[in-house]
Amino acid sequence: MKRNSSISASSAAIFLLFALLVCASTGCGTAILTPGYSGGKIKAGYQIPINPEGEQTAVYQTDDVSINYQYLRDGDGLKIAGTVNFGSGTQANFNYVDYFNLSLLLADSQGSIIAAKSLVSSNSVNLRSVNSRVLFNRDLNIPAEATFMAFAYTGQAGLGGGGSSGGGNSQFWEYPIAK
């Protein structure tokens, strides 16, 4: 019996983009997920104000992830740390997060993106273990005119194990950029 498989054009494009990102950043974990942000704006509803001074703590939540983070802005410096927990749907339906990349978009007072910074890249996160989260801690130089930020991420969850028991994987992402 012959088994036919097909792949959608959008899935192929996402896979190709990810493969290029991996090839460009092998071993460094600092891939920028948004190489084409030039001229873009952070979509309405995704803009997180950056306080000009002081420490801030917050939670950013989507269906895919919950990002508990804190940052301290000091002039052109931004110290940001946090924990990424994967959504209940991902945890209930998959064993592993095959890859996960998180970036921070920085925008001016008009919402126009002026920079993007990688926060963390991770692979083979075991969703069945006690430590099924991803941690990040970065000291970043940011443009003085940065007044908003937004998180952008891409990932893939799967059953893992590489066996012939079937199953599949699911890609997830957030790319809050409007042209």
- The helix/strand/coil state of 17 is helix
User: If you average pLDDT over residues 167-175, what whole number do you get?
Assistant: 90
b/e map 137-171, b = 16+ CB within 10 Å: ebebebeeebbbbbbbbbbbbbbbeeeeeeeeeeb
pLDDT of residue 28: 38
Integer Cα distance of 1 and 142 in angstroms: 57
**Domain 9-178 = CATH 1.10.1060:** no
Q: How far is CA 95 from CA 48, 123, 132, 145, 160, in A?
A: 32, 13, 10, 42, 6
Tell me which of 3 and 35 has the higher pLDDT: 35
pLDDT of residue 89: 92
Integer Cα distance of 92 and 142 in angstroms: 37
The tens digit of pLDDT for each residue in 42-53 reads 999 999 999 988
Integer Cα distance of 86 and 134 in angstroms: 9
The tens digit of pLDDT for each residue in 12-34 reads 344 434 444 443 333 334 444 44
The tokens describing 21, both together, are: 């990102």
Domain map (residue ranges) of the chain? 9-178
